Amino acid sequence: MKTLKISRTNKLHGEVYIPGDKSISHRAVMLGAIADGETVIDNFLDSEDCLATLDCFRKLGIESRKSKVENRKLVKIQGKGLHGLSKPDGALNVGNSGTTIRLISGILAGQSFETTITGDASIQKRPMKRIAEPLSRMGAGISGREGRDVREKEGGGGSEIYPPLTISGGKLRPIEYKLPMASAQVKSCVLLAGLYAEGETCVIEPAPSRDHTERMLSYLGVKFAKLGNTVSVCGPASFEGRTIDVPGDISSAAFLMVAGLLVPNSDLLLRNVGTNPTRTGILEVLHRMGAQVEVLDEEIISGEPRASIEIRKLKIENRKLEGMEIGGELIPKVIDEIPIIAVLATQATGQTIIKDAKELRVKESDRIKTISTELKKMGAKIKEKEDGMVISGPTKLKGTKVQSYGDHRVAMSLAVAGLIAEGETIIEDTDCIETSFPGFEDLLKKLLD
């Protein structure tokens, strides 16, 4: 089990090319596999989660080849069309990737064979009824391990299903499905299944969630429509493979943005950061809290916007970050960034209230509990709530031994906290960082030089 030691620093300096977006890399592999012909994924994120997706499709009969051009990873996918997948010899293993298991389920629902999908201990605690219900309505057979819904109060009704999942695919029918919560994973699962259904499949969202699936479908030429919060796709759909240029992951960039804001005298330029408007909630939060972060040279490639983000010579002692309330429709745009926002909030004046974020309790860890518990060990003033947390600041943090709980975003958030804490911070179980940001520790060291 790997341990990361972090000490306080007075400067971060450098120009960084952010690794490829995890969400987009997943989708590029999946859609490339069911496209006709070759798809080239440029700047593929070579992380454990995305490699799990690649491995699942290899077991489904899809050939892929990896190469490297300068610092960019390229993956070539030989697509076989909607019905070119083959029944795997055994269960598909998604590792720690919730995106993989939920999205691939939509594709497997349209196949003519039965598939079992499993994952690590964390995945086997992730709720799957949210995808099982719409896929069942479309005509797929889907079952899993039953248990109490972790989102229900004790004594509440209903039971969840958990992985391993077994999916019996077949001829699907289109549906109109109203999401009970804003979820890009559930929306994408239904839309991918809709590619196999004859007619129009519609998904109605209560609030906008990340739209990478819709953008990639449109880029690949799939008939697709969006009106307000209703998204629809017409099937059966066939499409040709193309080159997909993946921007850097703004969720990964968020750790460096906050580090650059909190460490005095920092001078950072983050290149090729994805600026999809459904993902830029972190920039909105930073601006509203009083941080000055400049977005430069925005352009759109492969249907996705990207830009450089500049953080220059900011001295936190001469600035005044203000606490704020984060909730409602903003939550889907910052759901992955809340752990690092919590670190930032410890240095803001007044209270930062995070609410409507109950979904955090069923991520790789219970992120409300884990980030609150560990930052309290460092001296932060945090009150845990059922659907979020209340953080009071500013507070001087102290280095100590903390746990990641096997959660990559918790681990990296604590690393950033360690950069401004007195003494040494020891973060246990940091192998998980490879899930989304391979090379994070080495990059931090380079920025300290």
| pLDDT tens-digit series, residues 374-428 | 999 999 999 999 999 999 999 999 999 999 999 999 999 999 999 999 999 999 9
* pLDDT at position 203 over 70: yes
Taking only Cα atoms into account, the Rg of the chain, rounded to an integer number of angstroms, comes to 21
Helix H or strand E encompassing 405: none
Measure the CA–CA gap between 41 and 112, rounded to whole angstroms. 28
Measure the CA–CA gap between 323 and 346, rounded to whole angstroms. 9
CB environment 160-194: b (16+ within 10 A), e (fewer): bbbbbbbbbbbebebbebebebbbbbbbbbbbbbb
Question: Cβ(164)–Cβ(79) under 8 Å?
Answer: no
Q: Please, which pLDDT band fits residue 68 given cuts at 50, 70 and 90?
A: confident
Q: Whole-prediction pTM value?
A: 0.92
Q: Please, which pLDDT band fits residue 154 given cuts at 50, 70 and 90?
A: very low
pLDDT at 147: 66
* pLDDT at position 250 over 50: yes
Domains and CATH numbers, the chain: 3-20+248-448 (3.65.10.10), 22-245 (3.65.10.10)
Percent of the chain residues topping a pLDDT of 90: 89
Q: Please, which pLDDT band fits residue 70 given cuts at 50, 70 and 90?
A: confident
Measure the CA–CA gap between 114 and 87, rounded to whole angstroms. 7
* pLDDT at position 316 over 80: no
Considering the chain, what is the average pLDDT of its residues? 93
Report the Cα 68 to chain-centroid distance in Å.
Answer: 24
Q: Dihedrals φ, ψ of 263, to 5°?
A: -85, 120
Q: Please, which pLDDT band fits residue 319 given cuts at 50, 70 and 90?
A: low
Order of strands, sheet of 304-314, starting from the edge strand that comes earlier in the sequence: 13-17, 266-274, 304-314, 294-301
Mean pLDDT of 256-262: 95
Question: Cβ(422)–Cβ(10) under 8 Å?
Answer: no
CA-nearest of 416, 444, 417, 415 to 430 is 415
* pLDDT at position 189 over 50: yes
Residues 6+ apart with CB under 8 A from 426: 3, 4, 5, 399, 400, 401, 402
Order of strands, sheet of 401-403, starting from the edge strand that comes earlier in the sequence: 3-7, 424-428, 401-403
Q: Please, which pLDDT band fits residue 151 given cuts at 50, 70 and 90?
A: very low
Q: Dihedrals φ, ψ of 184, to 5°?
A: -65, -30
Measure the CA–CA gap between 9 and 259, rounded to whole angstroms. 10
Percent of the chain residues topping a pLDDT of 70: 96
Q: Please, which pLDDT band fits residue 318 given cuts at 50, 70 and 90?
A: low
Structure tokens at 30: 């999946």
The residue from 21, 46, 49, 336 that is catalytic is: 336
* pLDDT at position 298 over 90: yes
Measure the CA–CA gap between 235 and 301, rounded to whole angstroms. 26
Helix H or strand E encompassing 444: helix 440-448
* pLDDT at position 323 over 80: yes
Helix H or strand E encompassing 147: strand 141-148
Measure the CA–CA gap between 346 and 417, rounded to whole angstroms. 9
As beta bridge partners, residue 20 has 248
- Residue 21 appears among annotated catalytic residues: no
Mean pLDDT of 330-347: 96
pLDDT at 427: 98
Render pLDDT for 10-48 as a digit per residue (tens, 0 to 9). 999 999 999 999 999 999 999 999 999 999 999 999 999
Pairwise pLDDT comparison (315 vs 255), residue with the higher score: 255
Mean pLDDT of 317-337: 89
Q: Please, which pLDDT band fits residue 173 given cuts at 50, 70 and 90?
A: very high
pLDDT at 328: 94
